[in-house]
Amino acid sequence: MSKFKIAGNTTLNGDIEVAGNKNAALPILAATVLTDDKCHLSNVPDIADVRAMLKLLKSLGKKVDKKGDNQFEISGKTDTKKLDEELAKKLRASILFLSGLLAREGQVEMPPPGGCVIGRRKVDTHFQVVDHFSGSVELMDNGNYFAKIDNPQSGKLFLNEVSVTGTENALILAAATPENTIISNAACEPHVADLANFLAKMGAEIEGIGTNRLIIKGSKKLSGVSHRIAPDHIEAGTFAIAAACTGGDLTIHDAVKNDLISTSRVLKGFNVDFEFLDKKTMHVKPSQLKSVISKVQVGLWPNFPTDLMSPVIVLATQAQGATLCHDWMYESRMYFVDKLNMMGASIIQADPHRVIVNGPSPLKGQHLSSPDIRAGIAIIIAAMIAEDESIIDRVEIVDRGYEDIENRLNSLGANIVRIED
């Protein structure tokens, strides 16, 4: 177990580089099972979820070689049809091995996936994908899932929900199926597009990348490739929010402007003073925060991402006025706000999906615990702007999504000390 001791009243200034996209790296790592050839991946974020994914690849028989900072070479065959239960239960992304192993091995046994507890996260869409490709899934007596495909068949697939990982599993299986696959109602986040670009490099023909309708002509023989993981737009937005909350002057590199359109709109809604110096460089200036947006609501891409709702709630505590924050996707996303109220925030929880934030509120340091990745980083931001010192327990949860976060923030002026229990 790890904890952070955070000194308050700090301001973030300087330059920071955005890491590779966590939610792109995980499906791309899973997709490397589609080929025995070498796949060289760069800009891979050094986070706990990626390390767990690499261990899963090794447990399947794949060879994983570290080639430098944030670089890996993955090669070789899989030699098992069963996911390691202990590893798979640690992260939600283990479900992404479903399609790759079905494509290569014809069957797979796997436990229900793990991950953050932010609400009910069904696997129905993944099973719909297997069924579409003429496969089957059954629940075993030991609680694991057993999936099987003898002869993959494809065609038109309309997903029953706009699921990111469901779309990714469909993409991976379609890339290994020679027939044409048309996926409608697909998720189209930047990380989904990055996976599609990776699969296209491997030899799949994919039309509609970045849209909710994908046309894929796959191949049973996919090749090894070199690929740079796209920058993490969630991390870029997180740093922008942290700079705004602390009144800092921060330049964020590898912040892709086209991936931050909805985030930029919300930042403007809080009167954050920022500009893009070019298509990949964002400059956040000291701002007089004011809630002119009144309501922030998450939505399907390209609308505001749910993964930035927790940090935005902290931003709202520092802005003049009242803000309604609504996350209809996850019924447990808002349950961390009681921790902010303990620090002095004025937040009313209207229901599991909506809170009303009144600001600005001076925050006071507290001894708190991180409930999930995004709430964890939000509490860290709150601690940096609070009076006095805060202790944040269970920060290993934050390590799952943010690379070396304390040292990167300390380089900007934060005062964070990691303590290992």
Catalytic center residues: 22-23, 116, 121, 307, 400
- Alpha-carbon dihedral of residues 282, 283, 288, 290, nearest 10 degrees? 0
| Contact indicator for 302, 311 with CB cutoff of 8 Å | no
202: tokens are 């491997």
Q: Which residues of 271-303 are buried (b: 16+ CB within 10 A; e: fewer)?
A: bbebeeeeebbbbbebbebebebeebbbebbee
At residue 295, what is the residue type? K
408: tokens are 């990167």
| Contact indicator for 266, 297 with CB cutoff of 8 Å | no
| Contact indicator for 156, 165 with CB cutoff of 8 Å | no
Angle at 95 between CA 137 and CA 118, to 5 degrees: 115
Q: Strands of 71-161 (E only): list them.
A: 71-75, 107-110, 136-139, 145-148, 156-158
Cis omega before residue 286 (within 30°)? no
| Contact indicator for 346, 361 with CB cutoff of 8 Å | yes
Please, where are the H alpha helices in 214-303? 233-246, 261-269
Q: Strands of 18-120 (E only): list them.
A: 39-42, 63-68, 71-75, 107-110
* CB neighbour list of residue 128: distance below 8 Å, 6 or more residues apart: 157, 159, 160, 166
